[in-house]
Structure 1
Amino acid sequence: MSIQKSIYRVVFLNQDKVYEVYCESVYQSEMYGFIEIEELIFGERSQLLVDPSEEKLQNEFAGVKRSFVPMHAIIRIDEVEKGGVPKISDSKVSSITSFPMSPPKKS
């Protein structure tokens, strides 16, 4: 009986783009206000058809062991049965600016 690893789909905003990535580990970081994403999953390089947005993501995250995403940039995190195609798409709402947040001051 084999133990199946969990796969997570993480959707977040980054510079007016919506990133959708798949990973094996996602958890709250020890750095205040960040979510850690580890072990990103990409499609096989041997496929005949190449998705340009997936290739761009793969190049952007090449050599990255762990990525720290600000908590306020996270749109959604889902646990899925199998990985899909990671992608970058344009944000539909570009006129909204997130409210700046600062960490609480230590007393």
Structure 2
Amino acid sequence: MSHRTLYKITFLNAGKIYELYARQVAASSLWGFTEVSELVWESGDSVVIDPTEERLRDEFGQTRKLHLPMQSVIRVEEVDRKGQLAIRDSQTGDRIVTPFPVPGRPR
């Protein structure tokens, strides 16, 4: 079994801190940007649905390459395994829990 490099990317987006996992991180061909590609998601055969991952997959699921402004990247870590994805409040660092939609309840 070959070991493929896995990166945890933490970046600031619209006043929130996002944490994603990807296989490729490099300097972008666009000056001043970091290129993130091959985003990693759960396999989908789990019974438990993580609403945060679903939200991130809705936003970035069709993205081939994500070009992040260098100043928005907080940290890039090489990790051994994927952890739980997160969206955090930029002021407190607390996780923003995305509630699961309840039928008949206004948003």
Question: Is TM > 0.5 for Structure 1 vs Structure 2?
Answer: yes
Counterpart of 1:70 in structure 2 is: 69
TM-fit CA distance, 1:44: 2.2
Given residue 84 of structure 1, which amino acid in structure 2 is its aligned partner? Answer: G
Instruction: Please state whether the residue corresponding to 1:53 is helix, strand or coil.
Output: helix
Counterpart of 1:3 in structure 2 is: 2
Instruction: Please state whether the residue corresponding to 2:58 is helix, strand or coil.
Output: helix
TM-fit CA distance, 1:56: 0.2
Stretches (4+) displaced over 2 A: none
Counterpart of 1:31 in structure 2 is: 30
TM-fit CA distance, 1:50: 1.3
What is the TM-score normalised by the length of structure 1? 0.81
Count of residue correspondences: 92
Gaps of 5+ in 2: 93-107
Asked if the contact 1:14–1:73 (Cα under 8 Å) also holds between the matched residues in 2, the reply is: yes
TM-fit CA distance, 1:3: 3.0
- State the Cα RMSD in Å: 1.2
Counterpart of 1:103 in structure 2 is: none
Partner Cα separation in structure 2 for residue 44 and residue 85 of structure 1: 13
**Percent of residue pairs identical:** 35
**What do residues 14-37 of structure 1 show as CA deviations (whole Å, max 9, x unaligned)?**
000100000000011111110000
Partner Cα separation in structure 1 for residue 88 and residue 43 of structure 2: 21
Q: Which has the larger radius of gyration?
A: 1
Residue range with higher mean Cα deviation, 11-20 or 58-67: 58-67
Instruction: Please state whether the residue corresponding to 1:59 is helix, strand or coil.
Output: helix
Gaps of 5+ in 1: 94-107
Instruction: Please state whether the residue corresponding to 2:74 is helix, strand or coil.
Output: strand
Counterpart of 2:21 in structure 1 is: 22
Counterpart of 2:41 in structure 1 is: 42
